[in-house]
Amino acid sequence: MHILDPQQIAQLDLNDPLGRFGREFAKPNRENGEPCVYLCGNSLGLMPLGVPAALKVETDSWAQRAVEGHFEGVHPWMDYHQRFSGPLARLVGAEECEVVAGNTLTVNLHLLMAGFYQPDNRSNDHGRNIILMEAGAFPSDQYAMDSQIRHHGLDPKRCLVEVALPDDRDEDPTAPVLKQIALLGERLSVVMLGAVHYYTGSFFDIPSVVEAAHRVGALVGLDLAHAAGNVPLELHAWGVDFACWCSYKYLNSGPGGPAGLFVHRKHHARQDLGRLEGWWGHEAATRFEMPRDFVPASGAQAWQLSNAQVMGMAPHAVALELHDRAGMEALRNKSLALTEMLEAVLLDFLEKHPELKGRILTPSNPRRRGCQLSLFLEHRGRDLFDHLHHHGILADWRNPGTIRMAPVPLYNQFADVLAVQKALGSFGSKEHIEAPLH
């Protein structure tokens, strides 16, 4: 590729309709005071500058009102979770009754699977008992699926099928999933996918997966940890049965931030889900009468267990407001442009350094990826990672040799890609590399 022109890059940033959002986030600096180029939004998003003030509102309310803060103040805590219905519905393409904020990602995954995974228990080798997921899924999902199967007295080695993704980035990552769904047929109970694969950044064709799974009588659940806030989602229209996500990656709600879940409207009235129940999932009208028998709240709110985690949800509200204001269409357009530019830079680097035996793992088709690119190197991968770190490029390392880079459109600039190109250009030179930046 031609070396990026700094003047053209500056003009792109000047004309960027989302450029102002970058000024609403705190960004880490290097030891010399210069700002870092932050490409780790797929691991932990940056802090919105409005978070300290939002937290102070709630700590002041706690200090000044104590228990009365549930009913008084700027945002009374009793109904705090309801602040998120609209933004979350727009985020994932749902009706407001289909989403709720709360718990954490794997907790919500277990809660949902407890109801939607209903094997007939005839045997490990007969009946509708199989869960299908992608190979190399995030470990927490793998552990959850294993334990859900064992909970029903079945063997994960027989009832969990993991589909290998293509090695060739030009191949459709969804094709082997669709093939396996057809092969499993009536044995398949639930397809449980990470909508965007955490390691490769592959974005599955969810509508095709849903259509194929429903055709054989199976359900579809999604882990949206790397999809929510990253790629366009239309969970209701696509017919996804259930989904869950975290908020600390692309949603910028802070470490351990509150998660969310989605349950399609078509399942709301079902009496056979075997849902695990808690007090806050009881209907609001009679909750404080402390009834002995559970009466589910309407919609996804029935999957709540406890009252709102206010101190964690205050940053979540700030972050969602920013995302909602930016809009997914504008974010996606900028994401495609940023990722295309970074991809060209990485391919040029690999062409100049064949000795590294590197390749990009992320699909080459822009529609099949979000804003993450995963660069795998057979040789000197850690050296390159440390080199980037030393030059203020904060990326993410995954063994055995993968550097994940995520130019997040909400706060990254085109100039950040220029900085990556400059740092890559000095790799292998005779300059002295000191200890990497931490």
Q: How do residues 117-175 score in pLDDT, each as one tens digit?
A: 999 877 777 889 999 999 999 999 999 999 999 999 999 999 999 999 999 999 999 99
Reduce the DSSP state of residue 132 to 3 states and report it. Answer: strand
Compute the distance between CA of residue 317 and CA of residue 86 in angstroms, rounded to an integer.
Answer: 11
Tokens for 98, please give them.
């289909």
**Can you give the residue ranges of every domain in the chain?**
6-35+327-425, 55-324
Say how many Å lie between the first and final Cα of the chain, rounded. Answer: 31
- Residue bearing tokens 């088709």: 365
Query: What is the spatial distance between Cα 347 and Cα 317, in angstroms, rounded to a whole number?
Result: 39
* Residue 262 and residue 92 in contact, taking contact as beta carbons nearer than 8 Å: yes
pLDDT at site 127: 86
Q: Do residues 151 and 111 lie in contact, with contact meaning Cβ atoms separated by under 8 Å?
A: no
pTM of the complete model: 0.94
Q: In what order do the strands lie in the sheet with 188-194?
A: 99-101, 260-263, 242-245, 219-223, 188-194, 130-134, 160-163
pLDDT value of residue 429: 56
Four-residue CA torsion sign, 376, 378, 381, 382: positive
Question: H helices within 327-394, ranges in order?
Answer: 328-352, 381-390
Q: What is the pLDDT of residue 4?
A: 83
Q: What integer pLDDT is reported at residue 434 of this predicted model? A: 45
Find the angle CA(54)-CA(85)-CA(336) to the nearest 5 degrees.
85
Mean pLDDT in each 10-residue stretch from start to end of the chain (438 residues)? 81 95 94 90 97 97 95 93 95 98 96 94 81 96 96 94 94 97 96 97 97 98 98 98 98 96 95 90 91 92 92 96 96 97 96 96 96 96 96 95 97 97 85 43
d(CA 182, CA 159): 16
One-letter-per-residue 3-state SS of 243-258: EEECCCCCCCCCCCCC
Whether 176 and 205 have beta carbons less than 8 Å apart is answered as no
Sheet-wide strand order for 402-405: 358-360, 373-377, 402-405, 396-398
φ, ψ (nearest 5 deg) of residue 263: -130, 120
Question: Rg for the chain (alpha carbons), in Å?
Answer: 23
Phi, psi of 402 (to 5 degrees): -115, 130
User: Rounded to an integer, what distance in angstroms lies between the CA atom of residue 256 and that of residue 244?
Assistant: 15
Task: Round to whole Å and give the CA distance between 112 and 73.
Answer: 33
Query: Is the CB of residue 186 less than 8 Å from the CB of residue 193?
Result: no
d(CA 298, CA 329): 30
| Structure tokens that stand for 304 in this block | 């709540």
pLDDT score of 1: 46
Is it true that the peptide bond before 366 is cis, omega within 30 degrees of 0? Answer: no
Q: What DSSP state is assigned to residue 19?
A: G
List CB contacts of 203: < 8 A, sequence separation 6 or more: 173, 195, 196, 197, 227, 231, 363, 367, 368, 369, 370
Check: CB of residue 390 under 8 Å from CB of residue 358.
Answer: no
Q: Is 252 in contact with 91 (CB distance < 8 Å)?
A: no
63-95 exposure pattern, b = at least 16 Cβ within 10 A, e = fewer: eeeeeebbeebebebbebbebbbebbbbbbbbe
197: helix, strand or coil:
coil
Strands (E), 30-186: 37-38, 99-101, 130-134, 160-163
pLDDT of res. 31? 82
Report the top-level CATH class of 55-324.
alpha beta
**What value, to the nearest 5°, has the Cα angle with vertex 113 and ends 110 and 116?**
155
Architecture of the domain delimited by 6-35+327-425: Alpha-Beta Complex (3.90)
Question: What are the φ and ψ backbone dihedral angles of 437, each rounded to 5 degrees?
Answer: -70, 135
